[in-house]
Each structure stands twice: as structure tokens, then as C-alpha cells.
Amino acid sequence: RLRLDLSYDGSGFHGWSRQPGGLRTVQQVLEDALGLLLTQPGPLTVAGRTDAGVHASGQVAHLDLPPGEWLAAPAVKA
């Protein structure tokens, strides 16, 4: 299980949850980014959700990964 502690400015998002019609959401952006690093990213589970335009600080989400998936991910340089 990979835990993510998140903070973000929600101004450019239509809330946390993926939306039909391709609206930009926090979940969609994070899952797409994780898909660049992991071979089997899976869905994120979040503790709480936000509405459109709402900022977050200290929001927690997690992702369940198959054994060894995180260790096989390429190193990311900031």
C-alpha cells in the first residue's frame, strides 16, 4: 500500500473524483501521473473528497500495488 499525503490548489479542478466527459479532476491527474511510473497503477482511494475549486491540505489517499511494483518503478528526479 502506497500512502500519498496531498496538498493542492483546487482552482483548476472539478473536484476530487473522476467525472464523465473528461473534466479535469484531482483523481484523474494523479492517476494519470502514476500511470507514467507504474505498470499497474490501479485506482486511488481517498479519505474525503473535495468539490470543484476547493483547496486541500493534508488530504490522504492510498494506492494498493502488487508486490514489487513500487521497487520496479523508475527513479524520479525532482
Alpha-helix residue ranges (DSSP H) falling in 1-78: 26-37, 69-72
Clarify whether 5 is annotated catalytic: no
Q: In terms of Cα–Cα distance, which of 40, 46, 37 is closest to 15?
A: 46
Determine which one of 5, 9, 32, 51 is catalytic.
51
Residues 6+ apart with CB under 8 A from 67: none
Q: Which residues are catalytic?
A: 51
